Amino acid sequence: MPVDRLHQFAFEVLSSILIITLGAALPSATAATKAHKPKAHGAIAIDRLSDAWGYGVNQKTSREARLEALRQCKRPSCEIVMRIEGECGAVARRRMPAGVYDAKAKYATFRGTNRGESETKALRQCGPDCEVVAWACNR
C-alpha cells in the first residue's frame, strides 16, 4: 500500500473511532448538563392528645421539614407521623366526639400524587368512621 493510501486509511479508521467514541459519550454528557431538580421534603406532625397538627413542605431537607411541622404543631407531645418527598400526604384517624381525644386512636397515613388521592387512600386504609385530620403537598 502506498504511503499516501496508508495515511488516508489510518485517518479514516481514527476518524471512525473518534466519531463512535464521541457519539457514545454525547448522551451522558447531555444528561449530565441537565439540571437535576431535587425533590422537596415535607412532614406532618400530630399531637394525639389534642387536635393540634402541623406541616412543613417544600423544604430542602427532611430535617427542615420535620422541624417546621413540629414548630407549627405547637405542643410538646407532637410527633412526626409522616414524611413526604416530592408528593402529597394525608393522615386519617377514627372520628372522635368533640373534646374527646384518644392517645391510642388508630392513625392511617398515605402518600399520593395529589391531595385527593392521599386523602381517599388514607381514609380507606383507616376504615369506617374515620376522618382526615391533616394533609400537606410539596410543589
Confidence of residue 33 (pLDDT cuts 50, 70, 90): very low
| Domain parsing of the chain, residue ranges | 1-36, 41-137
Residue 7, pLDDT > 70, answer no
Across residues 11-28, what is the average pLDDT? 52
The reported pTM is 0.69
Across residues 18-39, what is the average pLDDT? 54
Phi/psi of residue 30, each to 5°? -65, -45
pLDDT tens digits, residue range 75-92? 999 999 999 999 999 999
Which residue, among 109, 119, 133, 138, has the nearest Cα to 54 in the 3D structure? 133
pLDDT at 106: 77
Q: What is the edge-to-edge ordering of all strands in the sheet holding 79-85?
A: 53-59, 41-46, 79-85
Residue at 54: amino acid letter: G
pLDDT tens digits, residue range 38-97? 789 999 999 988 879 999 999 999 999 999 999 999 999 999 999 999 999 999 998 888
pLDDT at 65: 97
Residue 36, pLDDT > 60, answer yes
What's the burial of 117, exposed, middle or buried (CB within 10 Å: 0-12/13-18/19+)? middle
pLDDT at 73: 97
Q: Please tell me which residue, 88 or 8, carries the higher pLDDT value.
A: 88
